Amino acid sequence: MTELPFRRLLLVHAHPDDESINNGATMARYAAEGVHVTLVTCTLGERGEVIPPELAHLTGAALGEHRLRELTAAMGELGVTDFRLLGGAGRYGDSGMMGLADNDDPGCFWQADVDEAAARLVEVIREVRPQVLVTYDPDGGYGHPDHIQTHRVATRAAELAAAEGRPIAKVYWNRVPRATAEKAFAGLREDLPRTPFDRAAGLDDVPGVVDDERVTTEIDGTAYAAAKAAAMRAHATQITVAEPYFALSNGLAQPVLTTEHYELVDGGSGRVRETDLFDGMEEGS
């Protein structure tokens, strides 16, 4: 087996596009620095709403196949070569939004056995031996069932890996500091008439917004702003990009955040406002 770099980062996301929106600049920066970046996506997003009219015919499995191609293109923009679907493509279906009948589909990720799904993720952990894991908070950032389940599966996988002697040194949740979001949205409101978007989103539309004191880690990805925007643009069924803003299927404009923030929830020294997910680690760890 090829020897891996000494810094290894694992990100676990629910659907194609989540990674580029939440962590695109982080992934691009670390990939450029020679870190082994692994992305595990838990579903193909077969129930996502399609934005472009010319692609509106895509539904179900056909949409999932298309979104996998979008994910492949996005990873090319970020320089990430190790990306996988949990259990293989199509193993877990998109669960739809919370409260819909889709949640009851026995093949959807929401209905998956957490230990079984986590065991599949442990297989990846055994292979790449990440020191850092990034995923969602217990609410999945905004309450989507697949995001909540992703948190549960990633957390359980970290526990199982530790139990067999493969602990992950640091675990982070995706975050956006409230002050950062407020400043970015103030700029958006001023710029809105000069964008292709009619309306702006609000802070409640942004997953993971928390009070600033909860944020422990700030990753400056401004040098990779173009890569992040290109990766987001690759997810054309889900995202409309007009830099430095974007909109999802609701058409509400949001800022493209290129400094990305995290909350350290396990491991580390407790240092506040790290500027590196690998802070405190030495080669060989």
Q: Given pLDDT bands bounded at 50, 70 and 90, which one contains residue 65?
A: very high
| Residue 21 and residue 249 in contact, taking contact as beta carbons nearer than 8 Å | no
Quote the pLDDT of residue 6: 87
Q: Backbone dihedral region of 273: left (phi > 0), alpha (psi from -120 to 50 degrees) or beta? A: left
The DSSP line for 139-168 is TTTT--HHHHHHHHHHHHHHHHHHHTT---
pTM for the full model? 0.96
Q: Return the residue matching tokens 């407020």.
A: 182
Q: What is the pLDDT of residues 139-164, one digit of tens each?
A: 999 999 999 999 999 999 999 999 99
What integer best gives the mean pLDDT of the chain? 95
Q: Looking at residues 95-115, what average pLDDT do you find? A: 97
Q: Which domains does the chain have, with CATH numbers?
A: 8-266 (3.40.50.10320)
Q: Is the pLDDT of residue 284 over 60?
A: no
Q: What is the pLDDT of residues 171-228, one digit of tens each?
A: 999 999 999 999 999 999 999 999 999 999 999 999 999 999 999 999 999 999 999 9
Report the C-alpha gap between 14 and 23 in whole angstroms: 13
Q: Find residue 10's DSSP bridge partners.
A: 38, 133
Annotated binding site for Zn(2+): 15, 18, 147
Annotated binding site: 15, 18, 147
Q: Which residues contact 49 (CB under 8 A, 6 or more apart)?
A: 238, 249
Q: Is the pLDDT of residue 271 over 80?
A: no
